[in-house]
Amino acid sequence: MLVSLRGVAAADRPSSSAAAAGLPRESGDAARPPAHMAALILARGGSKGIPLKNIKLLAGVPLIGWVLRAAVDSGVFQSVWVSTDHDEIEKVAKQFGAQVHRRSSEVSKDSSTSLDAIVEFLRYHDEVDIVGNIQATSPCLHPTDLIRVAKMIREDGFDSVFSVVRRHQFRWSEIKKGVCEVTKPQNLNPAKRPRRQDWDGELYENGSFYFAKRSLIDKGYLQGGKMAYYEMRAEHSVDIDVDIDWPIAEQRVLRFGYFGKEALKEVKLLVCTIDGCLTTGHIYVSEDGKEVLSYDVRDAVGIQLLQERGVEVRLISERNCSPKTLSAMKLGCVAEVGVAAKLPVVEKWRTELNLCWKEVAYLGNEESDVECLKKAGMSAVPADSCPAAQKATNYICKCNGGRGAIREFAEHIFLLMEKVNSAGKKA
């Protein structure tokens, strides 16, 4: 029995041993903890292509946040780490539940390799047996991919596994300038050019992740030993290298990205804070004591579009806004002002409309909005909101409060509702 278990990870043994049948263990067959698998995202601050690319907002979420969400929710890692040399990246990493390894300047140079940074990380973390090096620039990664790869390492005995994508592209030899040669086909016969559906295509590394055992990395390799590839779906294979990739990736992640463990539901109610969201937060006071507020026409259009699609929009404020001023805006929204605690009011509205929290969206900008931002199925904050609010939300607008944030959030809601509806049709 012991001979048949050679080369199998300790975590896999119970399924084929006396212990699995509930029988006493043989002497010396002490239970071992599972091999420590650590997710490691390398994110230095000196990106040359896009400054601070790793925390630039992509569809309202810092780029690195997409892969950290997938890593944490997969549940296969004993620890999730970000290796960085930058304070702002460290703050974002911790916000998404990761631990931070402060990498040295020696492995933060333009010439430093991923392997250099991984080796340094392992030098400080003796407990780690397996490293899952996940690229921050792959925002469409899903937990299911990581779960399957972890099984390949732990149960199937592979020493290294890396991600690939299938492409149907014909390759031709390159001709250097000034050389009198003709190009030649590399992977096809032009006389028998296959149709796409008749050709399996080829596998290419997509750089999304590289898993390797410590024993292999100690030899200076990320790929080697008993190797395997993991084929990702083409729509999930997104890699951001330059600015031109950004808008394409943003549309892709909104359609195919991972948004969390709980399924999205169709939004039926949007609650919006007045000061700092509907308005800029500036108050103009006339000589006779009357206050004047301004708002962006784009936000009024956003509210109207939501209402036309059956979404109830309600306004809330801690301040005693003038009812006449709000009425003059002609937004057609129920409003409650002078609210000391916002959560009970939103809870009351939710109950009145017979909705669950997943059907509620919330746009806030202050610490007083944090509870509601955390509760809502979909939440957002303007770009100029306070740090506490930004930490509590799952979407940070590009627009400031009173400068188009509502319209932007409305568009985001519509895109996610398309995702909900398409998922419903498939089911």
The residues that bridge with 67 in the sheet, in sequence order, are: none
Catalytic residue, from 193, 233, 309, 319: name it.
Answer: 193
Contacts of 230 (CB under 8 A, 6+ apart): 145, 148, 149, 152, 161, 162, 163, 164
CB-facing half-sphere around the CA of 42: CA atoms within 13 A: 25
For residue 202, report the phi and psi dihedrals to the nearest 5 degrees: -130, 160
CB-facing half-sphere around the CA of 202: CA atoms within 13 A: 8
Which residue is associated with the tokens 């394409």?
Answer: 248
306: how many CB neighbours lie within 10 A of its CB?
Answer: 24
364 vs 230: CA distance, rounded Å:
41
CB-facing half-sphere around the CA of 403: CA atoms within 13 A: 13
332 vs 350: CA distance, rounded Å:
18
| Whether the Cβ atoms of residue 395 and residue 379 lie closer than 8 Å to each other | yes
For residue 172, report the phi and psi dihedrals to the nearest 5 degrees: -130, 150
Q: Which amino acid is at 256?
A: F
393 vs 362: CA distance, rounded Å:
9
Question: Counting Cβ atoms within 10 Å, is residue 149 exposed (0-12), middle (13-18) or buried (19+)?
Answer: buried
The residues that bridge with 164 in the sheet, in sequence order, are: 205, 231
90 vs 82: CA distance, rounded Å:
8
205 vs 138: CA distance, rounded Å:
12
193: annotated active-site residue: yes
Q: Which of 275, 317, 301, 292 is nearest to 406 (CA)?
A: 301
Distances (CA, A) of 225 to 10, 210, 216: 19, 13, 7
Active-site residue set: 193
